[in-house]
Structure 1
Amino acid sequence: MQAMDRAALEAFLDLEFPQVAGEFALEEVGPERLLVRLRVGERHLRPGGTVSGPSIFALADVGIYLAILARIGPVALAVTTNACVDFLRKPTAGCDLLAEVRILKLGRSLAVADALVFSEGLAEPVARASMTYAIPPAR
């Protein structure tokens, strides 16, 4: 069941996180997966021209957060409580990154999800992230 569609998630991101909303674009929002793009710019690069680890982490974190909200609705105070990122290979220079997110478990107080991060045009993932989010009790 989906509580928020693409338009609702984009509006939420613009309202609650305007400082980063323009960096991300929702490509697909469905009941089984969410696909989000990081619009890679100069600020995301590290020496050598590759995308920085913190930028890859941010993409996975935002993607997982939005996938959870797509299912539970606009809960701004859901927070990351655990994160593990495996950096698998160097992203293609100058290309956007895409995170394919799926929720593994959605409970009342915790959600567990994973994200595969791809460099646009590459078939193999550049990173894999697994995260747990705490969901605050309904008021």
Structure 2
Amino acid sequence: MIRYALVCEDDHRFEAWFSSSDAYDTQAGRGLVECPQCGSVQVKKQVMAPAIANSSRRETVTGGVAGGPESVSPDDLVRKVQAHIRANYDYVGERFADEARAIHNGEKAERLIYGETTHDERARLSEEGVACAPLPDAFVPSSGKKTN
């Protein structure tokens, strides 16, 4: 897993996880990496300092929690994100765009959802002010369902 700091053409800054640098290049080249704020697919990597692990210990990701920092291996982080999605989000499949729009418009009860949608549908949702963003493949729950 690799985390990139990204910036879109409108200077919105965000981070995203990819299984490898080639995965980022492939997804960006196909227009699949988009800004979660404006939906632009004109996204570039920012300069980042590499995380280097020495041979005596495994690479860790540090995240703040109440009571102090916690070290989590990248594999554990992926499993925690997948478990969180399974436990807290409703899978709506290919109905994602319709469900997200209905929730946004108050036609359905507010809840956390995930599912599949096309790039064009995501762009339309963004234009309408409906918040959604694709999830890196590694974070998709093991059921094979893709999060937006």
- TM-score, normalisation: structure 2: 0.24
User: Looking at CA atoms only, which structure, 1 or 2, has the larger radius of gyration?
Assistant: 2
Q: Which has the higher strand share?
A: 1
**Looking at both structures, which has the greater relative contact order when contacts are Cα pairs under 8 Å and sequence separation is at least 6?**
1
- TM-score, normalisation: structure 1: 0.24
